[in-house]
Amino acid sequence: MNDDYLLLTVSGPREQADLIEDQLIGLGALSVTFADAEDEPIHEPAPGTTPLWSQLQITGMFGAGADPELLAQALQNASVVIEGNQIRYKTLQGREWERAWMDDYEPIPVTEKLWIVPSFHEPPDPAATNIIIDPGLAFGSGTHATTWLCLQWLSGQNLNNRTVVDYGCGSGILAVGAALLGAERVYAYDIDPQALLATGENAQRNHVADKIIVCRSDRELPASCDFLVANILLAPLLELHKRFADMVPEEGRIGLSGVLSEQLALLAGTYSKHFQHEETDIRDQWALYSAKRLDELAT
């Protein structure tokens, strides 16, 4: 069986993305992926939207035997206006394709003794705390600055025999990290069913499934927890400030990320009624806000 693949990449503006994708699928593409063409960051998307860069590289993967010149000609004859130099292609063998995908993901050090390690790599330090996790459909493979910031924050807390809530768990990387760092019980919650599935699988992969409770509803979260970590977006963090205050008792701590450094003042101001700010960490323009729960103040 021939396991070669043809990768045909078309460069174009965001406005043409759907049309180009339809053309590629119509020509027999097995899959279509989008990538940034100009190293343009995407910050917080509007609710209900799927953010895309203004200039895209749209790649269709075709099976063995696909003719790149015929495909390029078909695209040029389609309703999308495409210059010839905007189309390029290359062929990869199946094993080479898998290797190319794997090469994008290397072990990531969070601290000297805490690493994020893809399952297809050997841990650089077997004696360290190694979170084994692969890229997937749910957010949180460790490559994003906010995930790294949250893990660094967790590693700096005394989690031994404590209860932790991971609110918006994504892949479960923070829940797994908390469990490996000594937490007795970790509650992981997300509104995305794919995230809950990924969290359960990653808990098993890291042998901490007995410590992690996957919650399908906010109502399944504990009435009280020692630490709460949330790597989500600014808008829900602002909406959840009272909910988090109710869940975290006096002297309990929160670590919040998913916000840009210029959004910190708004976040801190909202949480200042119930929490005392302790520290702020910045990485690649992204921020983590950590704070300690105060006594109840007069409303």
More confident residue, 85 or 146: 146
Band of pLDDT at residue 140, cut at 50, 70 and 90: low
Domain-terminating residue out of 103, 134, 157: 103
**Do 94 and 130 belong to one domain?**
no
Residue 83 has pLDDT above 70, yes or no: no
CA gap 49, 290 in Å, rounded:
28
pLDDT digits (tens, 9 = 90+) for 204-237: 999 999 999 999 999 999 999 999 999 998 999 9
Q: Residue 125 falls within a domain, yes or no?
A: yes
Closest by CA position to 176, among listed 146, 144, 143, 141: 141
- Identify the domain boundary among 45, 70, 103: 103
243 and 97 in one domain? no
pLDDT at residue 202 is higher than 90: yes
C-alpha–C-alpha distance, residues 33 and 96, integer Å: 18
Considering 103, 131, 158, which residue would you say is the last residue of a domain? 103
Same domain, 118 and 78: no
pLDDT tens by residue, 5-15: 788 888 877 77
Q: What is the average per-residue pLDDT within 116-126? A: 90
Domain of 157: which CATH number? 3.40.50.150
Mean pLDDT, the chain, as a whole number?
A: 84
Same domain, 98 and 157: no
Residue with the bigger pLDDT between 44 and 254: it is: 254
pLDDT of 41 reads 45
CA distance 248 to 96: 49
pLDDT of 248: 97
Higher pLDDT, 280 or 25: 280
Domain count, the chain: 2
Q: Which domain holds residue 14?
A: 4-103
Query: Average of pLDDT values for 104-118?
Result: 87
Domain containing residue 85: CATH number: 3.30.70.260
Sheet holding 114-117, edge to edge: 108-111, 114-117, 129-132
Residues 142-160: what's their mean pLDDT?
A: 92
